[in-house]
Structure 1
């Protein structure tokens, strides 16, 4: 038998048994360790960045557009669902959805069932303001000290329309009208395009003055401001698209009076003390006044429909002709109607009152029919969506069927 070389002599001579290739033993080269360490660092950094990113903190869903609402509210209705909390937006019905704000975002609900259709929430940011116009929900978020991120979402589906960075104060509020989103703070206002996301113009009050209120409407953007130590307020109407001044009026208050801007649709409305003043959009001239004595029905409020300004105050809803200030009709009410519903080319308003909801002819105020309901809170805005009446309140939303 042939002697085999010893292992030591084999290593020295380079001999290995047939079919068994020899591999030198030892540590991997330094470059392998460097590559491995770098890869691990990148994985850890990526995980940390993702965990702290806006994408990881965003919880969003989308849905198909809502079907066109059908039917009409019954003769007797009761509450079928509700959402508590500040809804944030003045108009909660858009695109066949009911919009409800929260501390971290917005949800869109089915009007009939209250079930969630879509949502957009940010776990790492706080909602500063929410509004809806032209089919787009505009939400502004605060990530640190200022409200610095805005997003536009299609109201019917929740699909993102746009995002942009902004630089607003943390106490800002949002409102809107057709093609205008208005961001308000005591030191100034900014207007945005809701569909194109660009900032149009800014306005700051004169030095030593602060904004008491602002509102965007088809008449323009109205601002009410007070200068330090003065009982004279200035009411201005600015152009909604370029910010140029249309007119300025001085309002003199007694020591016991306060003032509140109500709206800028068709007429500019201001509550001064226990009266509502409605002023011409053309030159600011006073056209008419309405009593605004505080009652259980809530504070004075203003809206508009085609051909009329609507004012809810002191338990009465008054329709005013915008050209002359003439009163068109009056009806008992505990709040405002929302958008009218067309019925055989006869627009109908859903007016909340002490007995439930009166469905009235928008042109004449005639009661066409009624949905009786008990315990309807005062101070809301009622909008009919198919067979559901949606009531927007300062502290939540309720639906009646």
Structure 2
């Protein structure tokens, strides 16, 4: 019996199917999906308890990229690298989950509202943003952006701010939408940007002006609240926008009221080289907490003057307030020989977690149950 050949249409269909399969494989290999290395995790157990009277270094990790201001959420510690970030278990320092891209570089990342929000650069622009659940690493949303390649990212409650020298973009971390954009004023360049409880603060250097221009914008609408001139001594830096909008010169801290920008009484800085250490600010209760050159100030929001001040190694755990034995609100302050629990209203000591060998300078503090997490410039340390 002679063998019969399939009809021509069968050969055509087969060839077309094979071609589509080859194209699909090539597209997948070149896609961001193939270039993504990510894991997820179970939610961590609730962190109960309080720091002990004496704690030791339980774990430590170095950072290969700039650490975010907001670096702890839902028991996870976010540590970035060139291609992505790792979420560590705050109790052990071990990896809980990670997210990395072989085809993109990290522009910036922040932990906010139970999410880790990151922006990646795929070519010459920071053009992809995503949010992952901080506890589990499960993706919540992804969207495209169009930001300069040198954009940076920081966040606070309900707000993610992406900044470059020419303008800012504000994202809703939960809903993934772009709330608003703002460019630098004509003839100006942004010398500093930050976001806090008071809003989005912009410090601009403008052509032909001997002063810097300080502006505060509403975090949700982008509406300008006020604009003030700040004398330019050659080393003016924007410190923060929590409770007060604070700018530092080489000699003073200049605080401004958040409602109308009224300049308050300057606060002299201790002697030192302005470039030696960072300037850090956060808010707790009604107070603005500012750290610079080895001193922590708790500033009154009405006057800008210090309610109290102490020598310190860095910024307290402002977002993780505790209670004293008398029921007063308190914060853990990193000091020379360990962490000191201080009454937020008075600065009086209410407890102590001593650390042999002390703490490095210039860090931010977070508390996860009995663990004190401390973040200097070059890494993260866990004390328990």
Q: TM-score, normalised by structure 2?
A: 0.93
Matched, 1:45 2:23: yes
Q: After superposition, what is the alpha-carbon deviation per residue over 1:97-123, rounded to whole angstroms, capped at 9, x for unaligned?
A: 111112122221111111111222222
Equivalent residues in 2 for 1:241-320 (5 A)? Answer: 241-254=220-233, 257-292=234-269, 293-294=271-272, 298-320=277-299
Matched, 1:370 2:352: yes
Equivalent residues in 2 for 1:114-193 (5 A)? Answer: 114-193=93-172
Q: After superposition, what is the alpha-carbon deviation per residue over 1:334-375, rounded to whole angstroms, capped at 9, x for unaligned?
A: 110122332364333121122122122222211122222215
Q: Report which stretch shifted further, 163-172 or 44-53.
A: 44-53
The equivalent residue for 1:56 is 34
The equivalent residue for 1:13 is none
Q: Report which stretch shifted further, 74-83 or 185-194.
A: 74-83
Structure 1: how far apart are the matches of 2:144 and 2:370?
A: 40
Structure 2: how far apart are the matches of 1:244 and 1:39?
A: 55
Structure 1: how far apart are the matches of 2:286 and 2:138?
A: 34
Structure 2: how far apart are the matches of 1:89 and 1:47?
A: 37
Q: Report which stretch shifted further, 353-362 or 177-186.
A: 353-362
Q: Report which stretch shifted further, 165-174 or 294-303.
A: 294-303
Cα shift at 1:27: 5.6
Structure 1: how far apart are the matches of 2:14 and 2:215?
A: 67
Could you say what secondary structure the match of 2:290 adopts? strand
Q: Report which stretch shifted further, 64-73 or 183-192.
A: 64-73
User: Could you say if the C-alpha distance between residues 297 and 146 of structure 1 is closer, same or farther in structure 2, counting changes exceeding 3 Å?
Assistant: closer
Structure 1: how far apart are the matches of 2:5 and 2:272?
A: 87
> Is the contact between residue 70 and residue 155 of structure 2 (CA under 8 Å) also seen in structure 1?
no
Cα shift at 1:231: 2.4
Cα shift at 1:274: 2.0
> Is the contact between residue 291 and residue 314 of structure 1 (CA under 8 Å) also seen in structure 2?
no
User: Could you say if the C-alpha distance between residues 158 and 346 of structure 1 is closer, same or farther in structure 2, counting changes exceeding 3 Å?
Assistant: farther
Q: After superposition, what is the alpha-carbon deviation per residue over 1:22-53, rounded to whole angstroms, capped at 9, x for unaligned?
A: 2x147654444333332322222121111111
Matched, 1:240 2:219: yes
Structure 1: how far apart are the matches of 2:178 and 2:91?
A: 36
Cα shift at 1:233: 0.5
The equivalent residue for 2:329 is 347
> Is the contact between residue 154 and residue 162 of structure 2 (CA under 8 Å) also seen in structure 1?
yes
> Is the contact between residue 175 and residue 183 of structure 1 (CA under 8 Å) also seen in structure 2?
yes
Cα shift at 1:161: 1.5
Could you say what secondary structure the match of 1:48 adopts? helix
Structure 1: how far apart are the matches of 2:365 and 2:272?
A: 21
User: Which structure 2 segments of 5+ residues have no match?
Assistant: none
> Is the contact between residue 221 and residue 238 of structure 1 (CA under 8 Å) also seen in structure 2?
yes
> Is the contact between residue 224 and residue 261 of structure 1 (CA under 8 Å) also seen in structure 2?
yes
Matched, 1:84 2:58: no
Matched, 1:386 2:369: yes
Q: Report which stretch shifted further, 343-352 or 259-268.
A: 343-352
Equivalent residues in 2 for 1:8-27 (5 A)? Answer: 22=1, 24-25=2-3
User: Which structure 1 segments of 5+ residues have no match?
Assistant: 1-21
Q: After superposition, what is the alpha-carbon deviation per residue over 1:227-272, rounded to whole angstroms, capped at 9, x for unaligned?
A: 1243210011111111111111111224xx3111111111100001
Q: After superposition, what is the alpha-carbon deviation per residue over 1:52-93, rounded to whole angstroms, capped at 9, x for unaligned?
A: 112222222222322221122223222222221235321211
Q: After superposition, what is the alpha-carbon deviation per residue over 1:188-218, rounded to whole angstroms, capped at 9, x for unaligned?
A: 0111111111111111122221001111122
The equivalent residue for 2:186 is 207
Cα shift at 1:162: 1.1
> Is the contact between residue 322 and residue 331 of structure 2 (CA under 8 Å) also seen in structure 1?
no
The equivalent residue for 2:343 is 361
Greater Rg over alpha carbons, structure: 1
Structure 1: how far apart are the matches of 2:124 and 2:177?
A: 23
> Is the contact between residue 313 and residue 359 of structure 2 (CA under 8 Å) also seen in structure 1?
no
